[in-house]
Amino acid sequence: MDIQQISITAFDDQRPGTSGLRKTVKTFRVAHYLESFVQSIFDALPDKQKKSLVIGGDGRYFNREAIQVIVRIAIANGYRALYIGQHGYLSTPAASHFIRKHKLDGGIILSASHNPGGPDADFGIKYNISNGGPAPEKVTNTIFDISRKLQHYLTIDCDDVDIDTLQSIQIGECEISIVDSIGDYADLMEHLFDLKLIRGLFNSGLFNMAFDAMHAITGPYAREIFVRRLGASEESLLNCYPKVDFGGGHPDPNLAHAHELVEMMNQPR
């Protein structure tokens, strides 16, 4: 496996906040832009913290493409264990839990939160440290300082990883595991809450609910927790299959963007 060193001209606009770096998809697709920021993250970390990493995001446009870029750069930078949420799905709280549960060095989360998705919309990338939380200001400042001086990034040439099949594969000295991040997080909820007791409420016939995932990342988690573990009906869930453009809507949980849910709640019972 040959490690390639790709020369670049440094970017001056990659200052991340606590929610990472958020730009338009078109900006992230500029040649070497994403690669520069990912390399800057890795250069900001000591070698002892570059062994294990979880990667995933909210399923928005450019999510799958970005994962493949990150995998290649991570391997070139010496990571030995990479975990990727199946289909590229990994919510921010699920990433935090996965990092802590498996004692990883950190995680890269691909999300622009409530910003719209699609080829003409937004994308985001952020790094979480080993305690599961977002990188502190000291780290993000270092990432930014490095990005303004970066002259090259490291990568490898390999086929895309199949992120839809639960599996483990080996590329060089790195083991890549495609993991069920949905079930892992649902297990945590079952540990924190008495789901058996709550399931009794759902089965009592005295309670019903409606949930709108707005075609965003919460949909798969909602189906696992509400339907499979609590016994809610599929009909009580709306828009629970993630779409790269969130169905043309806006994944912001307020009444302006949840008219279907409002209509359902206002129906006679």
| Residues labelled catalytic | 113
Task: Please give the radius of gyration of the chain, using alpha carbons only, rounded to the nearest integer.
Answer: 20
The C-alpha atoms of residue 112 and residue 60 are separated, in whole angstroms, by 9
Strands of the chain, DSSP E: 3-7, 21-24, 52-57, 81-89, 106-110, 122-128, 152-156, 167-171, 174-179, 211-212, 237-238
Residues contacting residue 115 through CB under 8 Å, at least 6 positions apart: 22, 121, 122, 124
Tokens 């200052």 belong to 15
Burial class (CB in 10 A: 0-12, 13-18, 19+), 27: middle
Residues contacting residue 73 through CB under 8 Å, at least 6 positions apart: 35, 38, 39, 42, 153, 154, 155
Distances (CA, A) of 167 to 58, 176, 177: 21, 8, 6
Nearest to 35 by CA among 163, 145, 155, 160: 155
Rounded (10°) CA dihedral 194, 195, 200, 203: 160
